[in-house]
Structure 1
Amino acid sequence: MDASTADLRTWLTGRLEALCACDSTSGEEDALRPVLLPLLAELGAEVVEQPVGPGRTNVLATWGRPRVLFSTHLDTVPPFLPPRLEGEILHGRGACDAKGQIMAQLGAVKRLLAEGAEGVAWLGVVGEETDSAGARAALGLADLLQDLRVLVNGEPTELKLATGQRGVQHLCLQCAGRAAHSGSPELGHDATWPLLDWLQRLRDLPRAADPQLGPEVWNLGLLQAGEALNSVPAAARADILLRSLPGSGFAEAVRRLAPPEGSLEVRLDEPPDRYPEIPGFEHAAMPFGSDAPALRALVPDRTVVLAGPGSIAVAHTLDEHLALADLEAGVGLNLRLAHHFLNA
């Protein structure tokens, strides 16, 4: 490792540790400001802060008139896990999702500035892990970004460019019954059994797949029934999160397979999205969602890239981590992407 590479690793590691030491769980994103704002000042950025809610502020940094916009999110999922460096791996909440993305992007900006380049920007948004309020609010910054050629949205993709992302549907399945004493169950109607039968019918459905986006999958996240052990449940509910494909017929199948006492409510429906293939880069389907579909509206022709270091397999887990070599490779990937669009 030469001196310049060692210096960059030291700079990246120290600042990533400082970001990860801030508990910026969704709703508390402003906890990052004491570290993030001095970091952007160090890089000579012009900074615009956009309040989104109490304790929640989007941050836009620009260097010249932006043509390339790097973006990622400031919030993390709970629980907070303080950073610890073990050898060449940094562990902790946000290490790859998404404070590691912040440093991989700002590291690329640092390299671009050293080359004398300008025309780049960086955007940190709040709420990606919950309500995407920051992404929606960020569309109000469009007047400052009229010359954009691309949005590079940072998520842990193992350094591959996403071919797109599946949609998200929150489906609430409910069954109505009639309460009764557990000693006389024949006087009631248990709402649980028809719900469980309904779910089993859904488990038996064939799974759709898309060559660019992967399989359509659903997760039974919440299952609730009854109020007391010695009472027949009068109501039962299941909450499903579907990662949907274009033309998905899953919600209609849920309605079609419902029992007489069942009802369906669609509480969230975000459509799937496809991203352009950029020559010279490796691409792959990704199993997760992001703010990219909303934020790409900032780019006049909607060109977007979803990519970054780290693996989604460890994001949101108690073993979230990022290898320093991957962090440096993320800087290199973002630098290549910036060169591609700045020189286009």
Structure 2
Amino acid sequence: MPAPDRAAEARALVVGAVAIPSRSGEEAEVAAYLTNWMAGRGFEAHVDEAGNAVGERGQGPLTVLLLGHIDTVPGDIPVRVEGDVLHGRGSVDAKGSFCAFVAAVAALPEEALAGARFVCVGATEEEAPSSRGARHVVRLYRPDLVLIGEPSGWAGLTLGYKGRLVARVRVHKDNFHTAGEGTSAADDLASGWFRVREWAAGEGGEGVFDAVQATIQDLWSRTDGLAQVAEGTFGLRLPPRVSPEAAEEAVRGALSSLPGPAGVEVTFTGHERAVRHPRDNALTRALRVAIRARGGTPVFKVKTGTSDMNVVAEAWPVPTVAYGPGDSALDHTPHEHLDLREYDRTVSVLTQALTRLSATDPARS
């Protein structure tokens, strides 16, 4: 039989995955597709209790865990391939990365499989506050090295992500005539927002990664003629030196000085700590060598968003890098698309890097 065209198979894999809609909480069909693909190419594959697509190859003493996510944000983008460009929701964020993981592990030589165990996990609900898939697997594995599937560009290595806190604020008070003295519930909510933003501005650092970023995610108000209610959601992106707990205390303090008599309720979600991993270890060295072998110049990055790296960092204190094809500026946009030539290079880099890592001593990784 002729040898399989691995590059064509790898492209078909990602096109097929992107063609299957999989908003957060609706990943079952794409998980089945991915596990069937892996099972047909030498993986021990299954869908786990969290709905993750899981595939394992290799029996060596080193465990490399490749954690991507297979859910997407809402937004229907017609799936099509135009030349070497794949258009579709999830092509960049982040089915492209996970499919590159799977394709690379499928292409590994037997000697690599004798030296390491490679676990590919296509996680569910990364785009939701639950991070269900990552929170499930973090209890099941103790890897020596971790790759997170997120777009970095084929020559980029992402070492860290900012933390996050989301505050939902509700102000309610008796209705009054707007010609009279006083402030509305919306006035008070706006005042609270300005105080939160003032605190954030005072927590500046050197560059955006070291600063607190504050944005309004939604804002509305209403009255029934007797009472007024205003609600807003404030999103905070946090640098490593500001914990979610410290940010929560600061937000409560800012809101505590709102004018009365008003009732203020605040709830917090998305408590994610910032994380930043070292630049030099067995994992980054293997990837840098492989990138240079393809003619690229490795570039280290940190990101202002969050990823499953934030979820697993504390439980897995091992060398970790986020890596994958695509331009992260296209995440969540109506223009999301993936250059399949870059995807090909990413698969090649990963195959070489993982082969090199299979000879690594776990005790020295």
SS of residue matched to 2:48:
strand
> How many residue pairs were aligned?
327
Q: Which residue matches 1:133? A: 132
CA offset digits 1:280-338 (Å, max 9, x no partner): 45311112211123334675x53221111112211111111110121012213323442
Q: Contact between 2:210 and 2:240, CA under 8 Å: does it hold in 1?
A: no
Q: Which residue matches 1:30? A: 28
Q: Which residue matches 1:97? A: 93
Query: 1:158: Cα distance to partner?
Result: 1.9
Q: 1 CA distance for matches of 2:213 and 2:127?
A: 19
Q: 2 CA distance for matches of 1:116 and 1:271?
A: 34
Does residue 151 of structure 2 align to residue 149 of structure 1?
no
For residues 113 and 246 of structure 1, do their structure 2 counterparts lie closer, same or farther at Cα, with a shift above 3 Å needed? same
| Counterpart code for 1:311 | D
For residues 165 and 43 of structure 1, do their structure 2 counterparts lie closer, same or farther at Cα, with a shift above 3 Å needed? same
Q: 1 CA distance for matches of 2:55 and 2:273?
A: 29
Q: Contact between 1:58 and 1:134, CA under 8 Å: does it hold in 2?
A: yes
Does residue 282 of structure 2 align to residue 288 of structure 1?
no
| Counterpart code for 2:188 | P
Q: 2 CA distance for matches of 1:246 and 1:296?
A: 13
1:223 to 216, 219, 232: 219
User: Larger deviation: 35-44 or 21-30?
Assistant: 35-44
Query: 1:93: Cα distance to partner?
Result: 0.8
Q: Which residue matches 1:63? A: 57
Does residue 272 of structure 2 align to residue 255 of structure 1?
no
Q: Percent identity?
A: 26
Q: 1 CA distance for matches of 2:44 and 2:98?
A: 17
Q: Contact between 1:26 and 1:129, CA under 8 Å: does it hold in 2?
A: yes
User: Larger deviation: 62-71 or 239-248?
Assistant: 62-71
Q: Contact between 2:125 and 2:133, CA under 8 Å: does it hold in 1?
A: yes
Query: 1:76: Cα distance to partner?
Result: 0.9
1:306 to 318, 322, 331: 322
Does residue 187 of structure 2 align to residue 170 of structure 1?
no
Q: Contact between 1:91 and 1:321, CA under 8 Å: does it hold in 2?
A: yes
Query: 1:212: Cα distance to partner?
Result: 9.4
Does residue 233 of structure 2 align to residue 239 of structure 1?
yes
Query: 1:121: Cα distance to partner?
Result: 1.9
Query: 1:214: Cα distance to partner?
Result: 4.5
For residues 295 and 250 of structure 1, do their structure 2 counterparts lie closer, same or farther at Cα, with a shift above 3 Å needed? closer
| Counterpart code for 1:101 | S
| Counterpart code for 1:44 | G
Q: 2 CA distance for matches of 1:232 and 1:323?
A: 56
Q: 1 CA distance for matches of 2:229 and 2:304?
A: 33
Structure 2 residue runs without a partner (length 5+): 289-297, 361-365
Q: 1 CA distance for matches of 2:167 and 2:315?
A: 30
Structure 1 residue runs without a partner (length 5+): none
For residues 303 and 176 of structure 1, do their structure 2 counterparts lie closer, same or farther at Cα, with a shift above 3 Å needed? same
Relative to the length of structure 2, the TM-score reads: 0.80
Q: 2 CA distance for matches of 1:161 and 1:112?
A: 21
SS of residue matched to 1:156:
coil
SS of residue matched to 1:98:
helix
Relative to the length of structure 1, the TM-score reads: 0.85
Q: Which residue matches 2:267? A: 265
2:105 to 80, 102, 109: 109
